[in-house]
A and B are shown apart, each in its own frame.
Chain A
Amino acid sequence: MTAIDPTGADASKPGVTGHSLFAPDKRTNARNATEKRFRAYGVVAITLALLALLWLLISIFSAGLPAFRQTFIEIPVTLDAAALDKAGHGDPKEMASVTTIGYGKQIAKALVDEVKAKGIDVGTLTDKEIGEMISEDSSANLRNMVLANPKLLGTTVQFQALANGRVDGYFKGRVTMETAARDKNTSPEKLMLADKLRAAGIVVMKFNPGFLTMTDASDKRPEAAGLGVAIIGSLYMMFVVLCLALPIGVAASVYLEEFAPKNRWTDLIEVNIANLAAVPSIVYGILGLETFINIAGLPRSAPIVGGLVLTLMTLPRIIIPTRAALKAVPPSIRDAALGVGASKLQTVTHHVLPLAMPGVLTGTIIGLAQALGETAPLLLIGMVAFVKDFPGAPPSGLFDPSSALPVQIYNWTQRGDPGFVERASGAIIVLLAFLIIMNTAAIILRRKYERRW
């Protein structure tokens, strides 16, 4: 045995008695070395974690920030009444017979005219090829503008057209002369003309609010794709989750914690709630598909269904922290309230719940934040569909087809055009911004309601 006698009776053994306090003995050295090593592991782990986080942020922001800037072509467009309103009555219903192609021609012509008027050398490019530098989506914008205000016919308007995705990519560094030479959608000549137009002030790059307000766009028009529908869909779903999960979750927690008898059944429920929090979210998707769409007959892709599915998923995540917050309220407060003759419910609503509020709110917001970022269950209930129209105002809008932020990100990463990579990264930034806002709200609420006892 090498155990050291703590009484120091055995003086031949080092390190207990007969040793100066100024010189550390062997065991102390070994202990200190272990501690130093342990601290070093900690520092290394933290550094690695921070580097990973930094790398994540850098890659997302470098890829996603360009999505907030867009290349526009600013030209005066003369709205030819003869071509756009053949009947000549100024009636929007009749004018609707002119498709976007008709408007596209007007814009292309306007660009060609403008280029010629400024005396810019177009090289070998034909008028048609010059027109292709404008996004196909612009004609739809112009058409909507005219149909909304038929009086514009015959006038000349200063129109801001979206540039084609390749031109936009060229200014963002995604498209180069080499790739353009191999690309049948564009050509080096077009890019050279784009450079000249930019110098002439016809092509400009500026902040693109449309990224947050526009709807999704088809595969060939990444420049026109926006998050409008996805943001509204996500907000609707968060609204549904908040309205259902918070009251149900808090009521369930209060009942289980304060009123329910402690027996086998409540134990079973408790274990099940804890387990439900760990169920993969896609399982909730299947459940929602079967229950809400197949049995209840609710529409597919609707925020109401997404909200219901996410409510199921969020409930255990609200119940668990809420119960913990209720448990943390000192029993002396309950005694005090009961002692002056408050009923059980008064004790809970007047004293216990207000004291547990910071924990309840934090749990709720964290639960909502998780629901906001959840993708898998939404795929199963059809929210991955291409949605071009904004959902209506609630409550009926909750039943309209819609998208959601994380699903939109997933959707864009599936597209072929490289312009969508930038859009997806930009959407991740928007999603992160929402999560940061929610977590900040959680911290502020917790600080505000925090009380000492």
Chain B
Amino acid sequence: MKDLRLERDVQTSTNKIEARKVQVYYGTNHALKDVDVDILDKTVTAFIGPSGCGKSTFLRCLNRMNDTVASARVEGSITLEGENIYDARVDPVQLRAKIGMVFQKPNPFPKSIYDNVAYGPKIHGLTRNKAELDQVVEDCLKKAALWNEVKDRLQSPGTGLSGGQQQRLCIARAIATSPEVLLMDEPCSALDPIATAQVEELIDELRSQFSVVIVTHSMQQAARVSQKTAFFHLGHLVEYGETGTIFTNPKDPRTESYITGRIG
């Protein structure tokens, strides 16, 4: 596998998402404390940290998936291009079309491969006719590096694919609504190393068009795919910076303990 670190060139691009003083409570449990993060456009940002540190919780705040948890309460502000996504005027449905999400376990709909990808554009009315929709499906499957494997069986069920293919199908589904940010919650944890490598390569390609935020348990993965890394511990954002700096020269002793394997 090519070492992606060698080609890493961090663009000094604009902030896509700015989070300020984000607090998350599940009932009385204070799960996330004072998180400040700026997520850059066209960059891969990795969230690392031990289990239960709040990294997935924070990820799910970014597209308001926490709204579906009745006991969850979010404070602070998260802005997408200057607009607070927790403003009362924001419809989470519209927000989620702009901020796509890929989940830990591949979860294609029990429908055909075509329908999986076409679902987002259909419900948001992004295409005017069948030909356009066909084109969107083809483009997204190509971007997700799945087209060549499935082009002859678009009508067969998405659940019949292998795990890695299913996850790439889910990525294709997420990018079909042409989002601006792509959130990935441990997208490779259910995949074997070869499928993982494919998805990682894909993430690096997607960086040219989207801002990608990835939660991962694997520090090697964070090091391979991301330009920026945030380390979470016990609900705090401990350290956030260039991936290279975090892994080679962490400032906080907790970060150092974690990446050297002493805690976590």
Interface, chain A (partner B; CB < 8 A) = 261-262, 330, 332-343, 346, 350-351, 355, 451-453
Contacts and interface: CB of A to CB of B under 8 A. Distances in A.
Interface stretch (B2-10, B103-111, B223-231): B103-111
Interface string B126-142: 00000000000000000
B96 interface: yes
Contacts of B174: 339-340
Nearest to B91: A343
Interface residues of B, number: 28
Nearest to B121: A340
B262 to A, nearest CB: 34
Given A262-B70, A339-B103, A351 B109 contact: yes
Contact of A340 (B70, B96, B105): B96
Contact of B107 (A336, A341, A355): A336
Given A334-B68, A335-B65, A452-B159, A342 B123 contact: yes
B42 interface: no
Contacts of B120: 340-341
B97 A341 contact: yes
A254 B174 CA distance: 26
A451 B111 CA distance: 9
B85 interface: no
A340 B159 contact: no
A451 B97 contact: no
B70 A341 contact: no
Given A346-B123, A351-B109, A336 B70 contact: no
Nearest to B106: A332
B119 interface: yes
B103 A335 contact: yes
Contacts of A261: 70
B167 to A, nearest CB: 12
B124 interface: yes
Contact of B177 (A335, A338, A340, A343): A340
A341 B123 contact: yes
B159 A339 contact: no
A453 B159 contact: yes
B207 to A, nearest CB: 20
Nearest to A343: B93
B226 to A, nearest CB: 21
Contacts of A338: 65, 68, 96
B43 interface: no
Nearest to B108: A336
A402 B65 CA distance: 55
Contacts of B55: none
Contacts of B105: 332
A336 B177 CA distance: 13
Interface of B: 63, 65, 68, 70, 93-97, 100-103, 105, 107-110, 119-120, 123-124, 159, 170, 173-174, 176-177
Interface centre among B68, B94, B109, B170 (most CB of A within 10 A): B109
A452 B159 CA distance: 8
A350 to B, nearest CB: 8
A332 B93 contact: no
27 contacts: A334-B68, A335-B65, A335-B101, A335-B103, A335-B107, A336-B108, A336-B109, A336-B170, A338-B65, A339-B65, A339-B100, A339-B102, A339-B103, A340-B96, A340-B97, A340-B100, A340-B120, A340-B123, A340-B173, A341-B93, A341-B97, A341-B177, A342-B93, A350-B119, A351-B109, A453-B110, A453-B159
Contacts of A332: 103, 105, 107
Contacts of A451: 110
Contacts of A336: 103, 107-109, 170, 173
The 7 closest A-B pairs by CB, nearest first: A341-B97, A332-B107, A339-B101, A341-B96, A340-B120, A336-B107, A453-B110
Contacts of A343: 93
B103 A355 contact: no
B236 to A, nearest CB: 26
Contacts of A452: 110, 159
A343 B95 CA distance: 11
A74 B74 CA distance: 88
B107 A333 contact: yes
Interface centre among B102, B105, B110 (most CB of A within 10 A): B110
Contacts of A330: 107
Interface centre among B107, B124, B173, B176 (most CB of A within 10 A): B107
Contacts of A337: 109, 119
A388 B66 CA distance: 64
A346 B120 CA distance: 11
Nearest to A263: B70
A247 B66 CA distance: 31
B122 to A, nearest CB: 9
A238 B176 CA distance: 46
A224 to B, nearest CB: 56
A341 B124 contact: yes
Contacts of B159: 452-453
